[in-house]
Amino acid sequence: MVDSTRTPTDEAHVSSLNGADGAKDRDLPGLLRTLWFTVRISVRSHPALAAGGMLLIPVGWVTGSLGALWLKYFIDGAIGGQAGTVGLAASLLVLTQVLGWAAGGLGMRLQQTFHEKAGIIFEERLIRASAGMNGIEHLERPDYLDKLDPLRKEAWIVHWTLEALAETIGAVAQTALTVVLLLSVDPLLLVLPLFGVPAVWAAHTGAVRERDAQEATAEYRRRQRHLVTLGSEASPGKEIRVFGLAGELLRLSREAWRREHGVRVRTAWAGAGRIAATTLLMAIGFAGALLLVGYRVVTGAASVGDLALTFVLAQSLSGNLGLVVGMVSWLVDCLGIGARFVWLLDRADAERRTLTANPVEVPTTLVDGIALQDVTFGYPGTGIVVFDKLSLTLPAGSVVGIVGENGAGKTTLVKLLCGMYVPSSGAVLVDGIDLRKLDLTAWRQRCAGAFQDHARFELPLRQAVTIGDVARFDDSPAAAEALAAASAGDLIRTLPAGLDTQLGTTWPGGTDLSGGQWQKVALARGLMRPDPLLTVLDEPTAALDAQTEDALFARYTAAARDRRSRGGITLLISHRFSTMRTADHIIVLDAGRVVEQGSHGELMHNAGRYAELYDIQARGYR
């Protein structure tokens, strides 16, 4: 069930985003910084195309007001019998119209080509920023995901910022020229644009509030998309049908959509009401301008051409202000996504600043091993402490088993050992050196492993395995050796094209794998690095039967002992105590604490105390 206590039912919830993170990207310095970032990256992607679009699009806008001026001269010349003026004005009218069409059309075509090039640049920056971080907090915290999820889905909009800026500049330039021309007819007409200022304010306010509403309801949008994915993918299909969940999924999806839609619709209608009121004000100003100039024509103080000019400009001004509003709203939307980019890059920069300026070199071999010393840690933003002054040792050259129920802290331990999070207090020591002082990139190059929540790289089988060691990427013998070590050599024989088989049915000629087969590919990938200092096997065989798991763990243990001279540590993590019989040392975690440790035989002897946790009797391993 969706948590009804968190329903954003009023604008107070939306305005809650005006906190530290939200206000920074809405104030003028924040908007200017985001604008500078997006424009700079866009221009760098292709300077010529960017410059062409920035020049041609505003030219297309300005020609509209110039056309009104030539129309005035044409009418006045025709009434006054001035053939030369009529001919010149007609020529300028045609030339201006053609120039406007050409500038607008060519500018848009340049922008389309530019979007393709700039889009790739921004997507590359997204990959580099997100995947390049040492930590994974931005990928796990719900409040950060609410920022990151729209960025992943709408990153393409960022490269539209330059076009939105060019369109805005063009609209503003045409409005400015219109004001100057109105002023030439009668200074009182200078008041006319003021009738449009509230409309611009209303549109800007509405755009900002709608963006706030979008962010405030991001959780519900993510939930609704998740439910749609559950109802339309193969993997959950069996459970959905067995448990009869189609109706419940539909109900939950509608509920999530209703909660998102409710806030956003209320915000949109409020904005529409403001725009309607300000539009009425613009209409009053438009009527007043025509009456003023019409009176001047009757009294002889102005020409018929002035009346035509005023009519065209006033009508254009009404449309222009609406277009300025639209362009500003568009620009605000683009900057809203761009602000998420800046937020992500700021996090990456902040992370880099925490790294040691001159990191200690990663040892080539381990002598003492890895130790956790009084480590306290809780996931940021949760207020829950996972480890409280946890201390344990992983001796160099050993095979260590970590056993515990779900939620005991096993995977969190892996994240700390790999440097994906840092302890709140205490330290992870590698041969006595704080892990935070090491070059984390170099440290991870000496780590290997396979994980229960492994990635499914939809690549040819060879590449899906060898990507685990980029130095040997696409190496067929290395892939075959790793697959054999993971008891997956049969995939080469059974898949349609062997190592060349494209994995994943979303690709032409692609082949899907079972859950166990995908896990074996991940295991093979984790065995690619030839000389790791730390090998982590975090429940990598959950989709395999117990006998296969036991055989694989035994093989890993044997291979690890062959590398003992280099001090490499192999960490076997499982909730099955039976798979740990070959480990040198077993550590039992419960609720983030070490409740027991020793050899398999020692723990078997003390099984009466933790029989429920080990479930030894039920498994028959006494």
What tens digit of pLDDT does each residue of 280-324 get?
Answer: 887 788 788 888 888 888 888 888 888 888 888 777 776 666 677
Which spans in 381-489 are helix H? 410-417, 440-445, 461-466, 476-485
Given a cut of 70, whether residue 571 has pLDDT beyond it is: yes
DSSP E strands, 378-508? 387-395, 399-403, 425-430, 433-434, 447-451
Handedness of CA 563, 567, 568, 573 (dihedral sign): positive
Yes or no: say if 214 and 150 are a contact pair by the CB < 8 Å rule: yes
Yes or no: say if 386 and 409 are a contact pair by the CB < 8 Å rule: yes
Run of H or E including 151: helix 142-154
Q: What percent of the chain has pLDDT over 90?
A: 4
Which spans in 446-545 are helix H? 461-466, 476-485, 490-494, 515-526
Structure confidence at residue 540 as a pLDDT band (50, 70, 90) = low
Given a cut of 50, whether residue 622 has pLDDT beyond it is: no
Lowest mean pLDDT across 42-56, 369-383, 597-611: 597-611
Q: Which residues pair with 72 in a beta bridge?
A: none
Given a cut of 60, whether residue 73 has pLDDT beyond it is: yes
Report residue 410 as tokens.
């096993």
Q: What count of other Cβ atoms lies within 10 Å of the Cβ of residue 151? A: 21
Highest mean pLDDT among 164-168, 173-177, 439-443: 439-443
Buried/exposed code over 547-559 (b: 16+ C-beta within 10 A; e: otherwise): eebbebbeebbee
pLDDT digits 0-9 by tens, 205-235: 877 788 788 778 877 887 888 888 777 776 6
Q: What count of other Cβ atoms lies within 10 Å of the Cβ of residue 435? A: 21
Yes or no: say if 504 and 456 are a contact pair by the CB < 8 Å rule: yes
Q: What count of other Cβ atoms lies within 10 Å of the Cβ of residue 48? A: 10
Model pLDDT, residue 337:
77
- What CATH architecture is 369-619? 3-Layer(aba) Sandwich (3.40)
pLDDT digits 0-9 by tens, 590-605: 888 888 888 777 777 6
Yes or no: say if 407 and 379 are a contact pair by the CB < 8 Å rule: no
The total number of residues shown for the chain amounts to 622
Report CA-CA distances (Å) from 555 to 119, 366, 403, 484, 582.
Answer: 47, 22, 19, 11, 9
Q: In this structure, which topology does domain 4-351 adopt according to CATH?
A: ABC transporter transmembrane region fold (1.20.1560)
Give the integer Cα–Cα distance in Å for 608 and 591.
Answer: 19
DSSP letter (8 states) at residue 589: E
Structure confidence at residue 480 as a pLDDT band (50, 70, 90) = very high
Buried/exposed code over 448-472 (b: 16+ C-beta within 10 A; e: otherwise): bbbbbebeebebbbbbbbbbbbeeb
Given a cut of 70, whether residue 369 has pLDDT beyond it is: yes
Highest mean pLDDT among 217-221, 328-332, 471-475: 471-475
Model pLDDT, residue 545:
62
Report residue 323 as tokens.
């277009």
Given a cut of 50, whether residue 449 has pLDDT beyond it is: yes
Model pLDDT, residue 445:
85
Q: Cα angle vertex 320, ends 315, 323, to 5°?
A: 135
Among candidate residues 96, 95, 318, the one with its CA nearest the CA of residue 200: 318
Structure confidence at residue 565 as a pLDDT band (50, 70, 90) = low
* Contacts of residue 581, Cβ cutoff 8 Å, sequence gap at least 6: 550, 600, 621
Q: Cα angle vertex 68, ends 67, 70, to 5°?
A: 65
* Contacts of residue 474, Cβ cutoff 8 Å, sequence gap at least 6: 462, 463, 466
Yes or no: say if 64 and 27 are a contact pair by the CB < 8 Å rule: no
The structural domains of the chain, with segments of one domain joined by +, span: 4-351, 369-619
The 3 state secondary structure assigned to 348-394 is HHHHHHHCCCCCECCCCCCCCEEEEEEEEECCCCCCCCCEEEEEEEE
Model pLDDT, residue 46:
75
Report the mean per-residue pLDDT for the chain: 77
Run of H or E including 574: strand 569-574
Model pLDDT, residue 618:
36
Q: What percent of the chain has pLDDT over 70?
A: 82
* Domains 4-351 and 369-619 alike in fold: no
